[in-house]
Structure 1
Amino acid sequence: MTQKFMVLSALLICLITMFGCGSDEEEPEKPTTPTTTEPMVPPEELIGSWEVVSINGEHPLAFVNADEPDEEERPKLNTENFYYVFSTDNSWTLNVKFDMAEFPEVPNIEGKVGIAGIWSGTYSVDDSVLSLVKVESEVEITSDPIDFFDAVFEGSKIEAKNEILEEFMSHVFNPFTKTILSIDGDTLTLEATGSVKNKMVLEKQ
């Protein structure tokens, strides 16, 4: 009998843990105003597309499959998109797209599951403090062949989608809603202002 993966452990962990652990239960601290020795970042320098290259010092996908210590038991992950776009109209989007394939626990079934998410909203920059407000979000889950998802995972795609959106808000978006930003050439660094000092590094595309 084929043992199916749990949606929460195999799908949600992919988006949740890519950004490390955050919590919406924590009351964020009041943003720290940068000292006068640090130059303020003009908002126009933020405009453009920025690829996420590390989260808390790790590759963005380092935490994927964190619940599976044995590397040989982990599905293969292929990343296509993982980037922010900041526009001149003070809007932002986050694009994430990757797929999971070669599931060791179901070696007799070939296929892959694709996850694509777009989060968007508005932003503001005040004294190098970047504030993000989410307005819309959408996640799409696909599988090839079409019945591969049902053969490998428990639960429906709708259930997985809703849980991904909910968990993304509490574990991914909320920890980075207010950050101190700094730009050095083509490198953008975002450091959270709360007591948990989450850090994201991005490179200009």
Structure 2
Amino acid sequence: MNIPRSLAVALLVVACSPVAAPPAHAPLEGARIGGAFALVDQDGRTVTDRSFAGKYRLMYFGYTFCPDVCPVDMQNVGAGMRLLEKSDPGLAARVVPVFVTVDPARDTPAVLKQFVRAFHPRMIGLTGSQTAIDAAEKVYAIYARKGAISPGGGYMMDHNNPVYLMDPAGKPVALIPADQNPQAVADEIAKWAR
């Protein structure tokens, strides 16, 4: 069979052209993560899930007395937010980093204020009664348990530490890799937030 040269070239161009990938679905689309909560911020104001309506939020559960993981994660989140503010200020302005304590007995609003201020000026710290914290942990699929009390009265908290990117309607979008580095944090936010 003899194919005209112009048709052969056209077929070759079509065959070698990249196929547009279908739009990616968010990794946490449809997951049962997130929901209603009523807590207190670092300034003593009541904050609910509705307080963040219209904004993306990074939801992290930890505690300020954590010796290593929580501060490193928050450092990466804060630095990732600063990178995003440089590369896409409009998007960054629509993202709120939120730190929710799993240790409300020690993490008072005053303690949280000092803690979140160290990582990013717009980071929100949330605390509340143990009942309110338990309810927030439940809707965000957070495991937290108080460890053994030392002779001096100190203790550590055992907890999981995902960083959830939630959309402006409060639905889960993706996990943010705060255990990696600030650039990974900024890149993952930019990948999924619109």
Larger Rg: 2
TM-score (normalizing by structure 1): 0.25
TM-score (normalizing by structure 2): 0.26
| Greater fraction strand | 1
| Greater fraction helix | 2
